[in-house]
Structure 1
Amino acid sequence: MSQPSAELIQLFQPVEEGLDAMRACLTGQLEETSGAVSDMTGHVSRFRGKQLRAALVLLSAKACGTYTAEHPSVAAVVEMIHLATLVHDDILDGAEVRRRVACVNQRWDNQVAVLLGDFLYARAFALSTTLSSRLCSSLLAETTRTLCIGEIEQSSRRYDFEVERETLEGIAAAKTASLYAAACELGARYPGGEVELGETMKGFGRDLGLAFQLVDDCLDLVGDSRVVGKSTGTDVQDGKVTLPVWFVYRDASTAVRAAIRDAYTRPNVEDRAALLKEVVDVRPGVDATLARATALLEGARARLAPLPETPSRASLEEITRFVLRRTW
C-alpha cells in the first residue's frame, strides 16, 4: 500500500498505530484467490494516496474520546468505499492517470473497472457486517446512496451554465463531502455514542469535504498534472461546469460567454481546458472558489471549539489548512 506524504504523516501521528492497523486490515480485505482480481487490487493499491478519510475516522474518535479497538476496521471500510469511488470516477471522467500510474480503466477497460469498483464496495460492506454495531454499515449505506445521487446529478447538469451556485455546491457536497462527513461522524459516534457530538463532527467533515472538492475543481482547471498526480482538465473535457468556471461565466460578457460555451462544445477539440484558458482568464474564478473554500474551512475549525485541546484536535485543525494549500 502506498503511504501518504511526509506532511500528512506528521499530521496523522496521533493515530499512527490505528492507521497501521487500518492498512493491515485493508491489505487483508484486498487479498483474493483469483489471480486476475489480485492483479487489479495490487495495481489499484498503488494510487491510494492521502488516506485522509480513514485518518479522519481515527482522529475524530481520539479527539472526541470515543476511540475503540474497532475504529481501525471502520476506517478500512471507509477507505475501501473511497477506493471504489476513485475507480468509478476515473471511468466517468475518462481519466488516464492517478497517482502517476495508469487508471484501471486505462490499464484494462471500462467494463473491468466497473466490476472492480463493485468488488471494492462489496468487500467494504462485507467487512462492516462483521463489526459489533450496525451503525457503520447503515450510515455508510446511506452515504453511498448520496454519493451516487451526487454523481448522477452532476452528469445531468453537463453544459448547464445557468445552474445555480447552490445546486453546484449541493452536488459537490453529495459526491465528495458526504463521505468526509460520514468518516467524522463515525469516529465520534461509533459504536453508538452521543448523537449531538456526531452531528458536530459530521458538520466538520462536511465543511472540510466540500472545501476539498472546491480545491480539487481548481486543481483540475489550473493544476500541473505532474504535481497533482492525476489527469487534469477532465471536468471541462467532460462538460462539467464546476464552481471556478461558474464564477467566470457569471461575470463574463455575452461574447465571452459564447466563447466559453464553444470551448466546451466545439467538435474535435483535444484539450478543452486549454482552449477555455485561451478564451478567458480563469484565475478570477479560481480565486473566488478558493475564497469560498477558505470560509468553509474557517467554519470547520470553529466546530471543533467544544472539543478538549488534544494532539488529535490539533491535527484536525491543521488538516483544514492542509486542504487549502495542497497541490495534489
Structure 2
Amino acid sequence: MDQVNSQKPHEQLAEQLDQEMTAVNALIRDRMASKHAPRIPEVTAHLVEAGGKRLRPMLTLAAAKLCGYAGDDHLKLAATVEFIHTATLLHDDVVDESGQRRGRPTANLLWDNKSSVLVGDYLFSRSFQLMVETGSLRVLDILANASATIAEGEVLQMTAASDLRTDEAVYLQVVRGKTAALFSAATEVGGVIAGVSEDAVQALFDYGDALGIAFQIADDLLDYQGDSKVTGKNVGDDFRERKLTLPVIKAVAQATDAERAFWVRTIEKGRQEDGDLEQALGLMAKYGTLDATRQDALAWAAKAQTAMAKLPEHPLRQILSDLAEYVVARLK
C-alpha cells in the first residue's frame, strides 16, 4: 500500500473528517439523551463511547464530501448509521449471550437483556427520526431497507449457522445482511444527499457492499488463523460456537462421508471433544479452504477498489480505496 505516512487508512479518514465527526459525536450524545428514562443514555453511552473506529458514519461523511456535498444533512445521516449499528450490537449481544465487546463487559451483562433490547429499539427509533429530518424519501427508503436486511440477515444466520446444508450463497446472504448492508447504505446515502448521478450512487453502493463483504470474510478467516492478541478472539471460537463460516463451508462441500460425519457431530450436533479443533483445521488444510477464503476476501476488496475508481478524483477517494486494501492486508 503506497502511503505517504504510516497512518492506517481509517486513521487518515478520521483525520480528514475530524471536524465533521466532532459534530456527529455531539449530535449522537444529544439524541441519545432521554428525559424520562436515564437508563437509555447510560446503556447507550457504555457502547457508543467504548472506543470503536466509527467506520460506518465516516463512510457516510466521506462519500458525501467526495461527491462535493456542502450542506449538513450528512451529519444526521452519519449519526443515523451509527445509531443503527449500535442498536444491532445491543441486540446481537443478547442473542449471542455475549459477555464482552471491545474489551469491555457487554450492556446485557452490566444491566440485563431487557434493557439492551429496549435501548436498542429506542436507538432504532431515534435513527428514523434523524432520517426523516433530511427530508429525503429516497434516503429513508435506503436506510429502512438496510435495517430490514440487517434483521433478516441475523435471523437467517440463526437458522443457518449450524446447518450443514448452508452453502456459499446462503453465507453471502448472511454476510450481506449482518455486515455489508449497513456499509453499502452508509456510502450510498452520502451520494444521494449530494445529488450526484445514478452511476456515481451505484458505484458508492457497490464499494460499500464489496468492502463489507471483504471485511466479514477476513474476520471469519482470522478466527482460524489470526493472532488472538491482535483479534481479541481465541483461535477457533467460531468452531466452538458451531458457526458455519466460509472456511468450514468450503471444507464441508468437499468432505468424504467420514469427514461429513465429523462435521455433523461437531457443528450440527455440537458434540465436541478434545482434539476436534485440530482435526477441523487439518481438514481445512487438506482442501486448502483457508487460502481459498483468503482469495475470496482479496477479490471482494479488489471489487471495492474498482467501484471507487469510478468516482471523481479526490484525496478521500484514495483513502477509501486504501481502506479496502487494508481490511484484507492482515491476511497476507
Normalising by structure 2, we get a TM-score of 0.87
Alignment match, 2:293: 289
| Equivalent residue, structure 1, for 2:17 | 15
Farther off after superposition, 61-70 or 101-110: 61-70
Map of 1:302 onto structure 2: 306
Match of 2:85 in 1: 82
Shift of 1:121: 0.7
Match of 1:49 in 2: 52
Q: Give CA-to-partner distance per residue, 1:169-201, whole Å, 9 cap, x none.
A: 122112211111111111111165433321111
CA distance in structure 1 between the aligned counterparts of 2:70 and 2:273, rounded to whole angstroms:
50
User: Is 1:170 the counterpart of 2:179 in the alignment?
Assistant: no
For 1:195 and 1:269, the matched residues in 2 are separated by 51
**Unaligned residue ranges in structure 1 (runs of 5+):** 1-5
1:230-241 to structure 2, matched below 5 A, reads: 235-241=238-244
Where do residues 1-328 of structure 1 align in structure 2 (5 Å cutoff)? 7=8, 8-33=10-35, 34-190=37-193, 192-229=195-232, 235-265=238-268, 275-281=276-282, 282=284, 284-326=288-330
Code of the aligned partner of 2:67: C
Q: In structure 2, do the counterparts of structure 1 residues 144 and 224 end up closer, same or farther at CA, with 3 Å as the change threshold?
A: same
Q: List alignment gaps of at least 5 residues for structure 2.
A: 1-6
Q: Secondary structure at the match of 1:201?
A: helix
Change (3 A) 1:267 1:292: closer
Count of residue correspondences: 321
SS in 2 for 1:56: helix
SS in 1 for 2:303: helix
Output the CA distance in 1 between the equivalents of 2:266 and 2:210. 32
Root-mean-square deviation (CA), in Å? 2.6
Once residues 12 and 163 of structure 1 are traced to their aligned partners in structure 2, the CA distance between those partners, rounded to angstroms, is: 38
Identity over aligned pairs, percent: 33
Distance of aligned partners of 1:211 and 1:247 in 2 relative to their CA distance in 1, 3 Å threshold: same
Which residue matches 1:3? none
Could you give the per-residue CA deviations for residues 234-260 of structure 1, whole angstroms, max 9, x where no partner exists? 544443311111112223333233223
CA contact (8 A) 1:77 1:124 kept: yes
CA change 1:75–1:152 in 2 (3 A) is: same
User: How far 1:226 moved relative to its partner?
Assistant: 4.4
Query: Does the CA-based 8 Å contact 1:212-1:323 persist in structure 2?
Result: yes
Distance 2:330 2:70 in 1: 28
Shift of 1:68: 2.6
1:270-305: CA deviations, max 9, x gaps? 99xx84344433454332212101001111111122
